[in-house]
Amino acid sequence: QVQVLESGPGLVTPSETLSLTCAVSGGSINSYYWSWIRQPPGKGLEWIGHIYYSGSTTYNPSLKSRITTSVDTSKKQLTLKLSSVTTADTAIYYCARASGPPHHWFAPWGQGTLVIVSS
Amino acid sequence: QSVLTQPPSASGTPGQRVTISCSGSSSNIGSNTVNWYQQLSGTAPKLLIYSNNVRPSGVPDRFSGSKSGTAASLAIRGLQSEDEADYYCASWDDSLNGFVIFGGGTKLTVL
């Protein structure tokens, strides 16, 4: 069964760019949407955006100006870049396979990777 | 950016039936399906219900979902101690260029 695993730096300096990778295993990356979702410590979930295996994207309007995502089907990897980070971007970042339209559900989820924005 | 409205907490005793509500608007729940996620303490969320009322394989039939108008609800019958978790509803919102919107989450305590 498909599994996803996020990885990243753990600590990012304010104003810098956060960069995360999601590795997909046990299944194909093709023909699926893939989403990034984050959760500040002790708070709720926030959808960041999704990317189709072909590369087309849809982003959360509140983050759109700072987000770049990409997919490498040969490596079965997804990447998320979030620019100009602040302490408000401190969160657990999850990668999940997505159903895409019209239902937009997420399964499975990765275990998440904690990113702390601090100087 | 507003979220779907859920009660922050809910509780019940083992064996009871509990429901968790999720209120939205015409641009999200009113025109799109609702999904529910369960997040056990210290773990990643897990899909519990999709497309309003469909249980993924492996989810006990004690869990059920429904939707009416701009509101949805999750029902858990025969409450068990392992059901203690945070529950989130989510839906697509058609405003702007479209995005996924989550509820604020409901912490369910099994007394």
Task: Please name which of A118, A110, A119 lies closest in space to residue A38, comparing C-alpha atoms.
Answer: A110
pLDDT tens-digit map of A33-77: 999 999 999 999 999 999 999 999 999 999 999 999 999 999 999
Residue B1 has pLDDT above 60, yes or no: no
- The vertex-A35 CA angle with A37 and B19, nearest 5°, equals 60
pLDDT at position B2: 59
Q: Which of B3, B35, B103 is the closest to A105 by Cβ?
A: B35
For the record, the structure tokens of B106 come out as: 């409901």
C-beta atoms of A104 and B92 within 8 A: yes
C-beta atoms of A104 and B32 within 8 A: yes
Residues of A in contact with B44 (CB under 8 A): 94, 109-112
C-beta atoms of A61 and B88 within 8 A: no
Closest residue in A to B106 (Cα) is A44
Q: Which of A46, A102, A107 is the closest to B32 by Cβ?
A: A102
Residue B3 has pLDDT above 90, yes or no: no
pLDDT tens-digit map of B47-104: 999 999 999 999 999 999 999 999 999 999 999 999 999 999 999 999 988 999 999 9
C-beta atoms of B44 and A94 within 8 A: yes
Residues of B in contact with A22 (CB under 8 A): none
For the record, the structure tokens of A10 come out as: 């753990």
- Per-residue pLDDT band for B8 (boundaries 50, 70, 90) equals very high
Mean pLDDT of A77-103: 96
C-beta atoms of A61 and B91 within 8 A: no
pLDDT tens-digit map of B19-40: 999 999 999 999 999 999 999 9
Distance from CA of B19 to the nearest CA of A (A): 19
Q: Find tokens 């849809």 and name the residue.
A: A58
pLDDT at position B7: 97
Q: Find tokens 């984050």 and name the residue.
A: A38
Alpha-carbon distance A62 to A9, whole Å?
A: 23
C-beta atoms of B50 and A99 within 8 A: yes
